[in-house]
Amino acid sequence: MMMPKRSPYRMTRVALALGAAGMLAAVPIAAQQAPSTAPEEEGTQKVVITANKRPQKQREVAGTISVLQGSDLEQRGATSQEDALRLTPGVQLTKGETSFNDITIRGLGTGGCSVCGNLLQGTTGVYLQDVPLTDPIGKLAVPDIQLFDVERLEILRGPQGALYGSSSLGGALRYVLAQPNLKGFDASVLGGVSTVAHGSAGHSLYGMVNVPLSENVAAIRAVAFDRKDGGYLDNPGTGRKDANQARQRGGRVLGTVQPNKAFKATLTVMTQTSEQDDGFSIVPDPTTLEHNTPSASPRSQNFDFANLEMNYDLGQHVLTSMTGWWKKTRDQTWDNTPLFRSFGIPFPFTRVYAVQFGQATAKSQEFRIANKPGGALSYLFGFIEQHVDSSSTLRARGEGTPGPFLDSDQASHETAKERALFFDGEYDLGSGWSVGLGGRFFRTNSHLGGESGGVAVAALDSAERGSTPKASVKYRFGDNLWYASAAKGYRFGGRNAPPTNLPYSSDSVWNYETGLRLAPARGLLLDVSLFYLDWDKAQFSYLDTSGSLPTSVTGNVGKARSVGFEGSLQYRINSSFDLAAALAYTDAKTTRDVNGPSGLIATGSRLPNTPKLQTSVQANARFEGPLGSAGKLSVTHSHVGDRVLNIDGTAKFGGYDTVDLGLSLARDNYTVLVNLANATDSRGVMSHIPSVPGAVYSEVFIQKPRTLSVSLRYDF
């Protein structure tokens, strides 16, 4: 049985208040690269990635991987997960407060709200330099990493349990930072201003400097950033307009030493602080762009990170050591007065709020050894261990209320450990055929303790062990590839905290996938894939109304499945024009009736926040600009279909469209960037805070309104 967990960051708003081969426009999926980042036709065929923990050509991987190049994201003015992930049909962002988003891939999600009720571990793993940030003890807040000087993002579709472990049930998101350059000096400065429709202005300043300490031996790369986003939501209760201003500050330093050809080490140290003045949710109508609370709901999150990567050349093999550490702290306040007023409670009160401080630290160590490419057999073996320690304190108060109503204090402390052996290999059979095999053998342990109202809560311990295999077959014919694969992923189970103490099981998923990568003509790439995901004991969140007050708890749906098609097309018309289109169709449903405290969840119920249809189309034009500059104009249209945002299907929202426009002019060392994001000012709903039976209440998160940004970059 899995460990019980109660993360400090899982005491979210409602809980506290109540006590696909998707056609990517800019970044086609099915292992293709955005045309805007590979202007030469041959570039799309030679992109090298490290998603399988060793260098491989992207279009030769048996699986679907999206790559978002950092330079392309910068040109588009992307600064966050919300900006980047709307380029990837089949990947859905459930928006929340700052650095509190959920990512769903191929429909594997059972919650449409990132800040309420979802007490379970996420289904998409997030990794920075291969260090897991989605920790095993629950869905802690994963930081929204600043995208300046990021080399690329890799989005791995389907379960990644073999190489990446728990939480990568539906897939994984990898941040790969730009590395120090040992050969020469390099520096960049990027500054800009922005304004959001119906709101206020913002500004940003980014800087990078790369200094070789000894040519070809040692170098340091340092990055610093300070970004302020203008607010666009008013709070009549506090009398403040544009109340949800946000700011992100921080930096990182990477140092690399390579004293000889056999040894290379890189140390990464990073810190990042994200703050917001008030909440980002809208009550009740998205067209009003406001919420009304007696006081603000500010919050801040700090993320510190360190990683030491060492690579040893042993002749025919390379030994890699990854030593990771991170710490997250979060200080937040919720004003839940409107929610409680909607309950119709018969006694007066002026304010209901909760204050929480939580922190979590993690240590991880990974060793792996891989043979060098060149032979018929390629393989790697590895071991990883991660230990997470977290704690939280919570104060919930009701002002102006008689008696002890919501006058409580809670504290929790938990630890978790995940250890695993993993392997991955591929054998070339000749005549274009190859087979792959991989797997992971894991063991997890956890401990939960704490107190409520000064009374100690009985400690809960659990442990589990298991395996997650994967297999593939590929056939290469010319510049084309056919593949078929099967892979398994898993996620932690546990037990709900008091007063329910209800257990929930770990869940797992099998993914069966086949795809084609075709190059039918010069300048034309076409990818298609079909997948079937079989999800067993799928976890979900619901409101238990059996007690005096509703309580957010985690349970199991039982069975679910997701069936889909993903397709992408890239067409380089000539040196001046290129076009990319992408489509993802995902049909994700339960396949077994489940009776729970919240009522019947019938067979065929749609899984939350997963549109059946997502599309994206991008056109790029390059031209000679004024004053001898090189110009580029891009137009992107993306569509997200209608969705249900909770497991019982009562919260339904229509689809929405987004149009982004971009212009860049480059001359010598200067580049001017002008971007108009969400040009039509669409109010698409990205997530929803659910109400409870008998309460008339609606709280939603929408995509950011139309935003104009102008930036100037100078490269030394």
**422 within a domain of the structure (yes/no):** yes
Q: Is the pLDDT of residue 20 over 70?
A: no
H, E, C per residue of 189-228: EEEEEEEECCCCEEEEEEEEEEEEEECCCEEEEEEEEEEE
pLDDT at 9: 31
Is 3:554 a contact under the CB 8 Å cutoff? no
**Six token digits for residue 691:** 């109400």
Q: Is 185 exposed, middle or buried (0-12, 13-18, 19+ CB in 10 A)?
A: exposed
Return d(Cα 95, Cα 281) in angstroms, integer. Answer: 10
Q: Which is it for strands 124-128 and 48-49: parallel, antiparallel or unpaired? A: unpaired
Tens digits of per-residue pLDDT, 650-667? 778 899 999 999 999 999
- Determine how many CB atoms are found less than 10 A away from the CB of residue 114: 27
pLDDT band at 374 (very low <50, low <70, confident <90, very high): confident
DSSP-derived letter for residue 342 is T
Is 636:617 a contact under the CB 8 Å cutoff? yes
Q: Which of 40-54, 70-84, 108-122 has the highest mean pLDDT?
A: 70-84
CATH of the domain at 64: 2.40.170.20
Return d(Cα 693, Cα 369) in angstroms, integer. Answer: 55
**2 within a domain of the structure (yes/no):** no
pLDDT at 32: 37
Tens digits of per-residue pLDDT, 591-649? 988 765 456 778 888 888 889 999 999 999 999 999 999 999 999 999 999 998 777 77
pLDDT band at 398 (very low <50, low <70, confident <90, very high): confident
For residue 287, report the phi and psi dihedrals to the nearest 5 degrees: -75, -15
**Distances in Å between the alpha carbon of 689 and those of 19, 113, 326, 609?**
16, 6, 30, 12
Return d(Cα 465, Cα 442) in angstroms, integer. Answer: 5
For residue 529, report the phi and psi dihedrals to the nearest 5 degrees: -150, 150
Picking from 48-62, 235-249, 389-403, which range would have the lowest pLDDT averaged per residue?
389-403
Tens digits of per-residue pLDDT, 50-62? 888 888 888 888 8
Strand locations in 13-168 (E): 48-49, 56-57, 65-69, 91-94, 102-105, 124-128, 131-132, 150-157
pLDDT band at 555 (very low <50, low <70, confident <90, very high): confident
Segment 65-89 mean pLDDT? 88
CA dihedral 55, 61, 65, 69 (to 10 degrees): 40
Tell me which residue of 266, 42, 53 sits closest to 154, measured CA to CA.
Answer: 53
Helix (H) or strand (E) holding 16: helix 13-17
**∠ CA 471-475-479 to the nearest 5 degrees?**
130
pLDDT at 368: 97
**86 within a domain of the structure (yes/no):** yes
435 against 352, higher pLDDT: 435
Structural domain for 639, as ranges: 8-443+498-715
Q: Is the pLDDT of residue 28 over 50?
A: no
Segment 178-196 mean pLDDT? 96
**376 within a domain of the structure (yes/no):** yes
**478 within a domain of the structure (yes/no):** no
Range list of H helices, 31-173: 70-75, 81-85, 161-164
Return d(Cα 55, Cα 67) in angstroms, integer. Answer: 14
**112 within a domain of the structure (yes/no):** yes
Is 279:289 a contact under the CB 8 Å cutoff? no
Q: Is the pLDDT of residue 361 over 70?
A: yes
The tally of domains found in the chain comes to: 1
pLDDT at 12: 37
**537 within a domain of the structure (yes/no):** yes
**Six token digits for residue 401:** 């209320």
pLDDT at 43: 47
pLDDT at 592: 85
Q: Which residue(s) pair with 526 in the sheet?
A: 518, 569
Query: What percent of the chain is predicted at pLDDT more than 70?
Result: 84
Return d(Cα 582, Cα 157) in angstroms, integer. Answer: 15
> What pTM was estimated for this model as a whole?
0.89
Return d(Cα 545, Cα 553) in angstroms, integer. Answer: 10
Please provide the average confidence, as pLDDT, over all residues in the chain. Answer: 85
Is 147:164 a contact under the CB 8 Å cutoff? no
437 against 283, higher pLDDT: 437
pLDDT at 300: 92
Report the number of secondary-structure helices (H) and strands (E) in the chain.
Answer: 5, 42
For residue 458, report the phi and psi dihedrals to the nearest 5 degrees: -55, 130
Q: Is the pLDDT of residue 335 over 60?
A: yes
pLDDT band at 582 (very low <50, low <70, confident <90, very high): very high
Is 209:256 a contact under the CB 8 Å cutoff? no
Residue the block writes with tokens 């999600």: 109
**474 within a domain of the structure (yes/no):** no
Segment 52-77 mean pLDDT? 87
Picking from 7-16, 106-115, 252-261, which range would have the lowest pLDDT averaged per residue?
7-16
Is 641:665 a contact under the CB 8 Å cutoff? no
**Six token digits for residue 318:** 């390379």
**Six token digits for residue 219:** 């170098």
